[in-house]
Amino acid sequence: EADIYQTPRYLVIGTGKKITLECSQTMGHDKMYWYQQDPGMELHLIHYSYGVNSTEKGDLSSESTVSRIRTEHFPLTLESARPSHTSQYLCASSEWQDGYTFGSGTRLTVV
Amino acid sequence: GENVEQHPSTLSVQEGDSAVIKCTYSDSASNYFPWYKQELGKRPQLIIDIRSNVGEKKDQRIAVTLNKTAKHFSLHITETQPEDSAVYFCAANPNTGRRALTFGSGTRLQVQP
């Protein structure tokens, strides 16, 4: 089934660790996004991509990096996790000017 | 950049009543306005969207209206049911600059049975 998949669903990690959140979509969408969301709260754009080898920063990008080497894959890396990174991370994809399909999210806890 | 304001932040209605959620946007170049529903512990789901060349769109019990002159758009839910209880987000997609959705802050809708 065509969808967007995020792993892991839940992650508890120690301060200072490097982590990569995985996101893959099987819909052939060119555009992909990462948003940060505290439960039920506003979505904040972290990074987005128009296609392979294209990445742009959002509002909360300063402490993370992304890559887009393949159309279907858009991982997010935190170089040094901090307790302030505790949140839910949502990946999404879309056709140009169309609504997003969101993944189920990764709930990250940094202790 | 785009700024989207959403009101109210919480809304409680009786089952069968109507609910209205309003959003305003700042960038007159924005041309796409989706609405998402997020149930507790689940991913946001697209429920309806409208483009700038249309003033109103309806899908069964939900409808969206757009006033480009005033730069506001609204979600209308009629004959509300308990399963409509969720957080609803509006969003706007500018046609220039950063072409990623800017979301409103969300409205928590509670439908009382």
In order, the DSSP letters of B81-106 are -GGG-EEEEEEEB-SSSS-S-EE---
pLDDT band of residue A40 (cuts 50, 70, 90) is confident
Collapsing DSSP to helix, strand or coil, A96 comes out as: coil
Reported confidence tier of residue A98, pLDDT bands at 50, 70, 90: confident
Q: Counting one residue from A and one from B, how many pairs have CB atoms under 8 Å apart?
A: 49
> Using a CB-CB distance cutoff of 8 angstroms, which residues of chain B are in contact with residue A104?
42-43
> Which candidate from A41, A45, A105 shows the least CB-CB separation from B43?
A105
Average pLDDT score, chain A:
93
Report residue A26 as tokens.
Answer: 């099987």
pLDDT per residue as tens digits for the range B69-113? 999 999 999 999 999 999 999 999 876 666 789 999 999 999 999
Residue A93 has pLDDT above 90, yes or no: yes
Residue A64 burial (CB count, 10 A): 21
| Residue A2 DSSP SS3 | coil
Per-residue pLDDT tens digits for B37-67:
999 989 999 999 999 888 999 999 999 999 9
Show the beta-strand stretches assigned E in A1-111. Answer: 4-7, 10-13, 19-25, 31-37, 43-51, 54-57, 64-66, 76-78, 87-94, 101-102, 106-110
Residue A70 has pLDDT above 80, yes or no: yes
**Each residue's pLDDT tens digit, B16-27:** 999 999 999 999
Give the CA count within 13 Å in the CB-facing half-sphere of B62: 17
For range A76-81, the mean pLDDT: 95
Q: Rounded CA gap, A91 and A34, in Å?
A: 5
pLDDT band at A7 (very low <50, low <70, confident <90, very high): very high
β-pairing, B107-112 with B10-14? parallel
Between CA A37 and CA B48 the distance in angstroms is 21
CA B32 to chain A, closest CA, distance in angstroms equals 7
Residue of A nearest to B101 (CA): A45
Those of residues 47-76 in A touching chain B at CB distance below 8 A are: 48, 50, 56, 58
Q: CA B17 → CA A14, B11, B61, distances in Å?
A: 48, 12, 11
* Full DSSP string of B29-98: T--EEEEEEE-TTS--EEEEEEETT-SEEEETTEEEEEETTTTEEEEEE-S--GGG-EEEEEEEB-SSSS
